[in-house]
Structure 1
């Protein structure tokens, strides 16, 4: 079985997940949507992991793969004045993962995390497991607990 820092972190917390491998397409314009389509998952519960900077500090947001972040809402959710997308090279260095395989779990350094509130009402959510072509699913409550995250309105 595949082992990633994300899966090891969840196992250490006693959180069980179901793994969902899929054929990752590096040419896909939207990898989250491509993953949802490949697995036949509703994009509303296929969450993409986005690294952001809030007042210059790193943070993580999980939102449905078919939606876009609202930087105004991100700033509000974290109680800061400004929010911006983190450049990909910085996100890779900070998390230890490659773009297309960034998981919120098992990152090199814990950062404040928020999950789109609308996704928190689902029975299960699908999130990257720490490598391209591998998702995990779990109840949103388990994701919130594992990440010390809060549900928030993040999408435009």
Structure 2
């Protein structure tokens, strides 16, 4: 049980669990999509960014790249840059390749790419490598108070 799963269960949220053998050392989203035989655009990666106003979490399809200007605008901040991996691990309590948007050490501003609304379910990290959670964009919006915007 990861903190993310415990959080969702406590909230009585509907989600699906997807486990796979993770042998990747980078591009974890593509690896998950291949292992689970799910389209790459349905597997969302959790990216940590930072700026003068603090940290912002971006959830974007593994098939895309985050547009930092669009993300900053959606988060209501001036400028953002990618956070170094070691800092992202310290801030969230999760390891790279397994950073879940749920149950991070501190509640951070979160923005989900609008393409999530095109799918009945998207996969996000479950809190460790080799574990993904199937959730809806609405669930991310309601449980994380996440904004939904075009950020790719």
- TM bracket (short chain): over 0.9
Q: What is residue 146 of structure 1 aligned with on the other side?
A: 143
Native 8 Å contact 2:4 2:100 kept in 1: yes
> Which aligned pairs between 1:66-105 and structure 2 lie closer than 5 A?
66-105=63-102
1:63 to 50, 57, 60: 60
Deviation at 1:144, TM superposition (A): 1.5
Deviation at 1:84, TM superposition (A): 0.4
Q: What is residue 12 of structure 1 aligned with on the other side?
A: 10
Cα distance in structure 2, aligned partners of 1:139 and 1:75:
23
What stretches of structure 1 move > 4 A for 4+ residues in a row?
none
Are 1:31 and 2:58 matched, yes or no? no
Gaps of 5+ in 1: none
Cα distance in structure 2, aligned partners of 1:151 and 1:124:
15
Gaps of 5+ in 2: none
What is the number of residues matched between the two proteins?
152
Deviations 1:61-98 (A, max 9, x none): 10000100111111111121111001111100010000
Native 8 Å contact 2:53 2:77 kept in 1: no
Cα distance in structure 2, aligned partners of 1:148 and 1:11:
18
Deviation at 1:54, TM superposition (A): 3.2
